[in-house]
């Protein structure tokens, strides 16, 4: 399974009226970049969100949320939210807004 097209379409719907949103295929899924910065993505059937590291512990206590762990080491500030945590529009909007709030405060990575 590459990634859930259904979840990706739901994310696209949230971003439809926003400017400076770009989609990139990445890590076996799709990532939505906002203002040149990674914001959210879809990996398999989960939403990936880049959030403020200070909100990380509270986020992990929410329904469907777990740490993002690709390499055996959790990536603080990145979380996966499973289908139970994105089942309805209100929950999906919550995670995307949380990621957008943090996105405003991070710098664009310099290309190497």
- What is the tens place of the pLDDT at every residue in 75-105? 889 999 999 999 999 999 999 999 999 999 9
Question: Mind giving me the DSSP string for 52-84?
Answer: -GGGHHHHHTSTTEEE--SSSS--TTEEEE-GG
- What is the tens place of the pLDDT at every residue in 8-62? 999 999 999 999 999 999 878 999 999 999 999 999 999 999 999 999 999 999 9
User: pTM here?
Assistant: 0.92
User: Which domains does the chain possess?
Assistant: 5-103 (3.90.1150.30)
């Amino acid at each position: 399974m590459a990634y859930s097209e259904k979840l990706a379409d739901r994310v696209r719907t949230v971003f439809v009226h926003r400017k400076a949103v770009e989609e990139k295929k990445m890590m076996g899924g799709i990532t939505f970049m906002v203002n040149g910065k990674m914001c959210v993505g879809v990996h398999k059937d989960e939403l990936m969100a880049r959030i403020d590291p200070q909100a990380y512990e509270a986020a992990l206590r929410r329904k469907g949320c777990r740490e993002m762990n690709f390499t055996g080491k959790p990536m603080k500030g990145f979380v996966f939210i499973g289908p139970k945590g994105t089942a309805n529009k209100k929950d999906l909007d919550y995670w995307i807004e949380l990621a957008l709030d943090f996105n405003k405060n991070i710098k664009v990575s310099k290309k190497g």
